């Protein structure tokens, strides 16, 4: 089975295409800094990552990245409107307590907001739930429910409904198949494994 | 953990990871120095130590800035018989987080101090007697400007990094503001850009304890004399602010002194924490000057970057250094929120500043801890 880290090359490539060279980028839930590091290398961006976990901040510091340990909402509230060219939430929204507040605040401090998430509506997840009636277990959802962090799975249809309700403009999007590599053109809420959206107010 | 065992230099070093025996030196300048207050000295002395070697390019120097009660002796031992090494020996040495095999590490006693640098207890060349409170008022910026003169004299063209906790962090940050091109990296620990009313209040109680002691005598006293009771009380009180409720309770709890009558109705020391504080006070008066305590606490109280430059963002506008700001969860003297405020203002000013928060229960003094996480952060930042 493909590990998520190996699966991530294409979504990172798409993000790199969307990010303007030398722009000011904030990565919410930056983890160990893999995405920011690649964007710094390829796009020479001024990058800031935010994460709650101190071991992850240490890993970012070791890579020479700028990283801030703390709550992402509190962090964003410390910045004026439009301070960042782009705010990225890559596989972050599923784990935050108030996704709507995070996106609203990201759209305030960022001129563009990029959201990437695993499509929970992917057909294999539906099938697993239908057949077994249990939490899906695969390369993405690796743990048992009782040893996983709280998560708030989102599907392509959920996210587009959210954007329509909030009247957020979708500037562009990229939908990837179950391999997270090929483009998914048909019935994305069913066939897309991974989704990327670029939003503006 | 540290890589001292793997370090080739550890073979020749006196002990693994140790800088070994060190000799303090004096920088003496006869160029007049004007303090921020407008007062002047015809020259001054800074006592300092160095570890490691300055490379040919002159770009591997790391400046350590000390806190209120610290001094230039931050690593190694002065004699083989020394019971304790320098105050930051756990961080500085061959193979340690501040690796003396790679870096030329320097630390000077601040002006206004009492460990060999010019201060109220050093003799006024005009009279031969201690300056006392005729010594010019000292600010954090004065400390920084004086140290810059010393670093210039050593041929240090640029600092690879500056590290400091508490007042040491204030100096490091002020350095980055005052000499932007000179400072490449700042490591700012357990510090604040402006003291809270509570922190000023604690300093004032310490100063009052000193000045209300009749032996203070308006700052005129003989060396080794002076307000020993007042200074000891100031230290006892301040020490409480450097630790935490949890750490004191773990160390002492309600343990009674050996030989203390369990439930005697007396005011003699009964609890271990009482003898511990008494010991802290007594050992302090043997190494610290009461007037220096007044001067340095005043310098810390006056430190207010937002007031001095209009705003924190304005203060940081010309900073070129990358910063690593570290807060400690149990620090209630300069709480993490004050470290976060510095990191956020640096970021708003468009500077590169990382912030990490270490979960420790040892209070303000946590920056001196033997903490692998702290070592990892510092080592990772100094590349």
Find, among B188, B153, B162, the residue nearest to B46 by Cα.
Answer: B153
Measured between CA atoms, the residue of chain B closest to residue A26 is B347
Q: How many domains does the structure of chain A reveal?
A: 1
B343 interface with A at CB cutoff 8 Å = yes
Chain A residue numbers touching B347 (CB-CB < 8 A): 48, 66, 68, 79
Q: What is the pLDDT at residue B258?
A: 81
Contacts of B310 (CB under 8 A, 6+ apart): none
Q: What is the pLDDT at residue B14?
A: 44
- Mean pLDDT across the stretch A68-92? 97
Check A61 against B373: CB less than 8 A apart.
no
Distance of CA A38 to the CA centre of its chain: 15
Of A68, A79, A83, the CB nearest to B354: A68
Rounded Cα distance between A53 and B339, Å, is 17
Q: What is the pLDDT at residue B148?
A: 98
ipTM of this complex:
0.93
Chain A residue numbers touching B340 (CB-CB < 8 A): 70
Check B322 against A66: CB less than 8 A apart.
yes
**Pairing label, strands B40-41, B33-34:** antiparallel
Number of helices (H), then strands (E), in chain B: 11, 12
Of B344, B357, B383, the CB nearest to A69: B357
pLDDT digits (tens, 9 = 90+) for A117-162: 999 999 999 998 899 998 888 877 788 889 888 889 999 999 999 9
Largest pairwise CA distance in chain A: 49
Contacts of B39 (CB under 8 A, 6+ apart): B136, B137
B148 interface with A at CB cutoff 8 Å = no
Q: What is the pLDDT at residue A168?
A: 97
List, as one string, the DSSP characters of B231-300.
HHHHHHHHHHHHS-HHHHHHHTTTPBPTT--TT--SSS--BHHHHHHHHHHHHHHTT--HHHHHHHHHHH
pLDDT in tens, chain B (383 residues): 333 333 333 333 344 689 999 999 999 999 999 999 999 999 999 999 999 999 988 899 999 999 999 999 999 999 999 999 999 999 999 999 999 999 999 999 999 999 999 999 999 988 999 999 999 999 999 999 999 999 999 999 999 999 999 999 999 999 999 999 999 999 999 999 999 999 999 999 999 999 999 999 999 998 878 999 999 999 999 999 999 999 999 999 999 988 776 667 888 888 999 999 999 999 999 999 999 999 999 999 999 999 999 999 999 999 999 999 999 999 999 999 999 999 999 999 999 999 999 999 999 999 999 999 999 999 999 99
Of B348, B353, B356, the CB nearest to A57: B356
What is the nearest CA distance from B380 to chain A, expressed in angstroms? 4
B188 interface with A at CB cutoff 8 Å = no
Rounded Cα distance between B290 and B283, Å, is 13
DSSP state of B137: P
Chain A residue numbers touching B344 (CB-CB < 8 A): 68, 75, 78-79
Measured between CA atoms, the residue of chain A closest to residue B379 is A62
Q: What is the pLDDT at residue A5?
A: 55
The domain containing residue A196 runs over which residues?
4-200
Alpha helices in A49-177 (DSSP H): 54-62, 72-77, 99-109, 123-132, 156-166
Q: What is the pLDDT at residue B4?
A: 35
Instruction: Tell if the pTM clears 0.90, that is, is over it.
Output: yes
Q: Please, which pLDDT band fits residue A201 given cuts at 50, 70 and 90?
A: confident
For testing contact with chain A, the best of B346, B350, B380 (most A CBs within 10 A): B380
Q: What is the pLDDT at residue A7?
A: 62
Q: Which residues of B have a catalytic role annotated?
A: 166, 331, 364
pLDDT digits (tens, 9 = 90+) for A101-124: 999 999 999 999 999 999 999 999
- Ordered structural domains, chain B, with CATH: 4-196+305-381 (3.40.50.1820), 197-302 (1.10.1740.110)
What is the nearest CA distance from B313 to chain A, expressed in angstroms? 12
For testing contact with chain A, the best of B356, B374, B375, B377 (most A CBs within 10 A): B356
Q: What is the pLDDT at residue B9?
A: 37
What is the nearest CA distance from B356 to chain A, expressed in angstroms? 5
Find, among B361, B333, B334, the residue nearest to B247 by Cα.
Answer: B361
Read off the CATH number of the domain in which A9 is found. 3.40.50.150
Chain B residue numbers touching A61 (CB-CB < 8 A): 324, 354, 356, 377, 380-381
The helix or strand, by DSSP H or E, that contains position B50, with its residue range, turns out to be strand B44-51
Check A61 against B356: CB less than 8 A apart.
yes
Of B344, B359, B381, the CB nearest to A61: B381
Of B355, B359, B383, the CB nearest to A68: B355
Contacts of A17 (CB under 8 A, 6+ apart): none
Chain B residue numbers touching A57 (CB-CB < 8 A): 354-356
Q: Which residue has the higher pLDDT, A69 or A135?
A: A69
Rounded Cα distance between A169 and A200, Å, is 5
Q: What is the pLDDT at residue B125?
A: 86
């Amino acid at each position: 089975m493909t590990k998520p880290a190996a699966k991530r090359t294409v979504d990172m490539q798409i993000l790199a295409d969307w990010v303007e060279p030398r722009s000011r980028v904030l990565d919410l839930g930056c983890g160990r800094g893999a995405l920011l590091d690649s964007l710094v290398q390829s796009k020479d961006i001024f990058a800031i990552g935010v994460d709650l976990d101190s071991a992850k901040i240490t890993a970012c510091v070791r890579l020479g990245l700028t990283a801030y340990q703390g709550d992402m909402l509190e962090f964003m509230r410390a910045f004026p409107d439009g301070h960042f060219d782009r705010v990225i939430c890559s596989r972050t929204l599923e784990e935050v307590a108030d996704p709507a507040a995070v996106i609203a605040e990201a759209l305030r401090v960022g001129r563009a907001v990029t959201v990437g998430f695993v499509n929970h509506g992917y057909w294999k997840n539906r099938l697993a739930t239908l057949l077994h009636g249990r939490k899906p277990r695969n390369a993405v959802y690796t743990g048992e429910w009782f040893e996983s962090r709280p998560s708030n799975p989102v599907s392509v249809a959920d996210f587009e409904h959210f954007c329509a309700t909030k009247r957020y403009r979708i500037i562009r999007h990229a939908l990837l198949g179950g391999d997270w590599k090929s483009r998914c053109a048909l019935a994305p809420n069913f066939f897309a494994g991974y989704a990327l959206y670029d939003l503006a107010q | 953990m540290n890589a001292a065992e793997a370090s080739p230099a550890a073979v020749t070093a006196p002990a693994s990871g140790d800088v070994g025996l060190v000799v303090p030196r004096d920088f003496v300048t006869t160029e007049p120095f004007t303090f921020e207050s407008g007062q002047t000295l015809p020259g001054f002395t800074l006592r300092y130590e160095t570890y490691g070697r300055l490379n040919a390019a002159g770009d591997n120097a790391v400046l350590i800035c000390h806190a209120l009660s610290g001094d230039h002796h931050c690593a190694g031992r002065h004699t083989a018989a020394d019971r304790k090494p320098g105050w930051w020996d756990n961080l500085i040495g061959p193979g340690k987080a501040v690796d003396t095999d790679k870096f030329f590490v320097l630390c000077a006693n601040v002006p206004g101090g009492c460990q060999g640098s010019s201060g109220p207890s050093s003799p006024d060349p005009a009279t031969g007697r201690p300056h006392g409170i005729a010594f010019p008022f000292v600010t954090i910026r004065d400390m920084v400007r004086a140290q810059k003169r010393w670093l210039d004299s050593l041929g240090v063209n640029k600092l690879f990094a500056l590290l400091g906790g508490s007042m040491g962090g204030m100096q490091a940050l002020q350095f980055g503001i005052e000499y932007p091109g000179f400072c490449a990296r700042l490591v700012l620990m357990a510090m604040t850009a402006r003291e809270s009313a509570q922190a000023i209040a604690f300093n004032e109680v310490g100063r009052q304890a000193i000045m209300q002691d009749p032996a203070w005598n308006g700052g005129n006293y003989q060396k080794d004399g002076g307000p020993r009771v007042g200074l000891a009380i100031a230290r006892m009180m301040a020490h409480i602010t450097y630790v935490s409720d949890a750490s004191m309770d773990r160390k002492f709890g309600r343990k009674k002194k050996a030989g203390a009558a369990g439930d005697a109705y007396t005011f003699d020391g009964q609890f271990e924490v009482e003898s511990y504080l008494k010991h802290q006070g007594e050992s302090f008066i043997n190494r610290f000057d009461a007037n220096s305590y007044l001067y340095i606490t005043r310098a810390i109280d006056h430190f207010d970057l937002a007031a001095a430059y209009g705003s924190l963002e304005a203060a940081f506008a010309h900073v070129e250094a990358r910063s690593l700001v570290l807060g400690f969860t149990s620090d209630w003297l300069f709480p993490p929120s004050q470290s976060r405020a510095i990191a956020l203002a640096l970021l708003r000013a468009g500077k590169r500043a990382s912030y990490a928060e270490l979960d420790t229960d040892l209070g303000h003094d946590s920056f001196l801890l033997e903490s692998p996480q702290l070592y990892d952060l510092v080592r990772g930042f100094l590349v």
